[in-house]
Structure 1
Amino acid sequence: MSHKKIFKNTLALYLRQIIIILITLYSMRVILIELGVEDYGIYSVVTGFVTLLAFLPGSMASATQRFFAFAMGKQDPERLQQTFSVNLVMYIAIALLAYTLLQTVGLWYVGEHLKMPDERASAALALYHYASLSFVFSIFTAPFIAILIAHEDMHLYAMISVVDAVLKLAAAISLAYVSYDLLVYYGIALLAVSVVIACAYVAICLKRYAECQLRKLYWSSRLLKEIWSFTAWTLLGQISTVFRNQAVTVLVNQMFNPATVAARAIALSVAGQVAVFSNNLNTGLYPPIIKSYAANQRDEMAGLVFNGSKLTFFLMWMFALPIMLEMETILRIWLETPPPEAVLFTRLAIVESLIMALSMPLATAARAPGRMALYETVLGSIQIAIFFMSWWVLSLGYAAESVFYVAILANLLMFKIRLLLVHRLTRLSVKGFYQKVVMPVLAVLVISAGISYALFYFATESLLKSALTVIFSMTFSVLAMYFLGLDKFWRKKVLGVLVNKVSKIRWA
Structure 2
Amino acid sequence: MAILLILSLFTARIVFNTLGEINYGIYNLVGGIIIFFSFLNSGLSNATRRYVTAEIETGTDETQRSTFNLCVLSHIFISIVIFILAETIGVWFVNTQLNIPEGREFAANIVYQLSVITAIVNIMQTPFQAVIIAHERMNIYAYFTIFDVIFKLIIIVLIQYINFDKLIVYALLIFIIGIFNVSIYRIYCYRNFKMCKWMFVKNKSQLKDIFSFTGWSLFGQAAVVATNQGVSVLINIFTSVVVNAAMGVANTIVNVVNGFITNFQTAFNPAITKSYVAKDNNYLKDLLIKTSKLSSFLLLIFAIPIIFESKNLLHIWLGDYPQYSSEFCNLSLGYIYLEAISAPLWMLIYSNKNIKRYQIIISSVYFLNIILSWILLFLKYPPYNIMIVRCFVNIILVIIRLIYCKKLLPTFKIALWTKEVILKSMIIALASSVLPFVIKNVLSIPPFISIITTTILSLIVSIPLIYTIGLTLQERQSTINILKKKLHI
User: Does the pair score TM above 0.5?
Assistant: yes
Letter in 2 for 1:58: S
Q: Which runs of 4+ in 1 moved over 6 A?
A: none
In the alignment, the residues of structure 2 paired with residue 223 and residue 212 of structure 1 have an alpha-carbon distance, to the nearest angstrom, of 17
Letter in 2 for 1:277: F
Residue 500 of structure 1 and its aligned partner are, at CA, apart by 4.5
Structure 1 equivalent of residue 461 of structure 2? 476
Letter in 2 for 1:396: L
Structure 1 equivalent of residue 380 of structure 2? 397
Match status 1:235 vs 2:218: yes
User: What does 1:72-471 correspond to in 2, within 5 Å?
Assistant: 72-214=56-198, 216-427=199-410, 428-462=412-446, 463-471=448-456
Structure 2 equivalent of residue 492 of structure 1? 477
In the alignment, the residues of structure 2 paired with residue 187 and residue 495 of structure 1 have an alpha-carbon distance, to the nearest angstrom, of 47
Contact 2:61 2:194 in 1 (8 A): no
Match status 1:30 vs 2:41: no
In the alignment, the residues of structure 1 paired with residue 221 and residue 174 of structure 2 have an alpha-carbon distance, to the nearest angstrom, of 24
Cα pair distance change 1:152/1:500, threshold 3 Å: closer
In the alignment, the residues of structure 1 paired with residue 438 and residue 16 of structure 2 have an alpha-carbon distance, to the nearest angstrom, of 34
Residue 39 of structure 1 and its aligned partner are, at CA, apart by 1.2
Cα deviations by residue, 1:284-305 (Å, 9 ceiling, x for unpaired): 0000111011111011111111
CA RMSD of aligned residues (A): 1.4
Counterpart of 2:29 (choices 28, 45, 68) is: 45
Cα deviations by residue, 1:28-55 (Å, 9 ceiling, x for unpaired): 1111111111111111100111111231
Residue 120 of structure 1 and its aligned partner are, at CA, apart by 0.6
Deviates more, 1:236-245 or 1:69-78: 69-78
In the alignment, the residues of structure 2 paired with residue 488 and residue 203 of structure 1 have an alpha-carbon distance, to the nearest angstrom, of 44
Letter in 1 for 2:65: Q
Contact 1:144 1:201 in 2 (8 A): yes
In the alignment, the residues of structure 1 paired with residue 393 and residue 414 of structure 2 have an alpha-carbon distance, to the nearest angstrom, of 20
Q: How many positions carry a matched residue from both structures?
A: 487
Unaligned runs of 5+ in 1: 1-16
In the alignment, the residues of structure 2 paired with residue 122 and residue 503 of structure 1 have an alpha-carbon distance, to the nearest angstrom, of 60
Unaligned runs of 5+ in 2: none
Residue 412 of structure 1 and its aligned partner are, at CA, apart by 1.1
Cα deviations by residue, 1:178-199 (Å, 9 ceiling, x for unpaired): 1111111111111111101111
Contact 1:82 1:218 in 2 (8 A): yes
Residue 502 of structure 1 and its aligned partner are, at CA, apart by 4.7
Residue 219 of structure 1 and its aligned partner are, at CA, apart by 3.6
Cα deviations by residue, 1:61-116 (Å, 9 ceiling, x for unpaired): 11111111111222433331121011000001111111111111101110111101
Deviates more, 1:226-235 or 1:451-460: 451-460
In the alignment, the residues of structure 2 paired with residue 466 and residue 460 of structure 1 have an alpha-carbon distance, to the nearest angstrom, of 12
Contact 2:435 2:457 in 1 (8 A): no
Residue 499 of structure 1 and its aligned partner are, at CA, apart by 4.1
Residue 503 of structure 1 and its aligned partner are, at CA, apart by 5.2
Contact 1:321 1:474 in 2 (8 A): no
Scaled by the length of structure 2, the TM-score of the pair is: 0.97
Identical aligned pairs, as a percentage? 27
Contact 2:219 2:360 in 1 (8 A): yes
1:398 is paired with a residue whose SS is coil
Letter in 2 for 1:205: C
Deviates more, 1:451-460 or 1:141-150: 451-460
Cα deviations by residue, 1:190-237 (Å, 9 ceiling, x for unpaired): 1111101111111111110000001x2244212112111111111111
In the alignment, the residues of structure 2 paired with residue 429 and residue 368 of structure 1 have an alpha-carbon distance, to the nearest angstrom, of 19
Contact 1:440 1:486 in 2 (8 A): no
Residue 269 of structure 1 and its aligned partner are, at CA, apart by 2.1
2:432 is paired with a residue whose SS is helix
Deviates more, 1:74-83 or 1:126-135: 74-83
Letter in 1 for 2:482: V
